[in-house]
Amino acid sequence: MRGIVDHKGEQFGYLDGNRLYTLDGETSGFLRGGYIVDLAGNPVWRVIGDCLYKPGTFEQVGFLSEDKNSEYE
């Protein structure tokens, strides 16, 4: 599981496998082909390394945290 954090270091979602969740545990999208897509399959963010960018730009919107084993949380 990897947290999704903004530039201030505040987590606003998490990625568990290829599934994106809100902090309330609701599925809000998926990781597909280097992009985070919404439930309808529309690209929301491009993933390059651990950084998230607005599609078609290099404007950073956040980062993926280190991978954490969810069984210990």
The pLDDT of residue 68 is 80
pLDDT band at 1 (very low <50, low <70, confident <90, very high): very high
Output the average pLDDT for the chain: 92
Rounded to an integer, what distance in angstroms lies between the CA atom of residue 31 and that of residue 21?
11
Task: Report yes or no on 37 lying in a domain.
Answer: yes
Rounded average pLDDT over 33-37: 96
The pLDDT of residue 12 is 94
The pLDDT of residue 30 is 98
The pLDDT of residue 71 is 55
In one letter, which amino acid is 53? Y
Rounded to an integer, what distance in angstroms lies between the CA atom of residue 15 and that of residue 67?
9
Range of the domain at 12: 2-62
Question: Where are the extended beta strands (E) located within the chain?
Answer: 2-5, 11-16, 19-21, 27-32, 35-38, 43-48, 51-53, 60-64
Number of domains present in the structure of the chain: 1
